[in-house]
Amino acid sequence: MPDFDTKPALNTLISQSEIANRVDALAASIAKDTSGSPTILVALLKGSVVFLSDLMRRLHAHGVSPIIDFLIVSSYKDAQESSGSIEIVSDIKSSVEGKTVVLIDDIIDTGRTMLEVKERLEAKQADKVLTVALLDKPSRRKVDISPDYYGFTIDDVFVVGYGLDFAGEYRCLPYIATIDN
């Protein structure tokens, strides 16, 4: 676990330009698959805020301008492991009934967050819920879900940057990095 007193070194895992290229490709696919249907982007705070802001502008470049809403769920706090079930801290304000929901998170780890939120949105009568994560750690999966769209598959390493944090730090880094112990 990183120790902030010793200023741990950051190692770039995915660069800014790699992220930008991949986000554009994801936006192109999502724009193609959602064209013609009323669409809402639902982003999980806080981790997906940077990804959302880039993705929505690339979606606009590909000809779609969906509305957006946010969900806050209880998460890792200061640890590097998720517990069991998640808790909705702040729910979306928009109706998803009859809409295509694009559910956005920064990373899928155990998959519990994405699966539970997806089921809740389906229960609110969304027409369909498409899931998108910038990063996927399939080796860590504990429940049966794989994202409809993902940016990069990574190994079982803890990463920060581009919205992802460790104990609230590092979200502002413009690239994805691992932390040296």
Between 58 and 97, how does the x/- string for binding to ligand IMP read (CB under 6 A)? -----------------xx-----x---------------
CB of 15 to ligand IMP, least distance (A): 17
Q: What are phi and psi of 4, to 5 degrees?
A: -65, -25
Residue among 2, 47, 147, 161 that touches Mg ion (CB under 5 A): 47
Return d(Cα 55, Cα 44) in angstroms, integer: 14
Q: Which is nearer to ligand IMP, 54 or 109 (CB)?
A: 109
Query: Which residues have a catalytic role annotated?
Result: 109
Binding range to ligand IMP, per CB under 6 A, among 19-27, 28-36, 52-60, 111-119: 111-119
When CB distances are held under 5 to 8 angstroms depending on the partner's kind, the choice from ligand IMP, Mg ion, none that residue 54 binds is none
SS3 assignment, position 54: helix
Contact call for residue 163 and Mg ion (CB under 5 A): no
Q: In what order do the strands lie in the sheet with 88-90?
A: 88-90, 67-73, 39-45, 100-108, 128-136, 149-153
Q: Which is nearer to ligand IMP, 2 or 111 (CB)?
A: 111
Helix (H) or strand (E) holding 20: helix 16-34
What is the residue type of 26? L
Count, residues near ligand IMP per rule CB under 6 A: 18
CB of 106 to Mg ion, least distance (A): 5
Radius of gyration of the chain (CA): 16
Which tokens hold the place of 19? Answer: 């992220």
Q: Which is nearer to ligand IMP, 39 or 82 (CB)?
A: 82
Contact call for residue 106 and ligand IMP (CB under 6 A): yes
Which tokens hold the place of 79? Answer: 């640890």
Helix axes 49-61, 16-34, angle to 10 degrees: 60
The residues that touch ligand IMP, with contacts defined as CB under 6 A, are 44, 47, 75-76, 82, 105-113, 158-160, 164
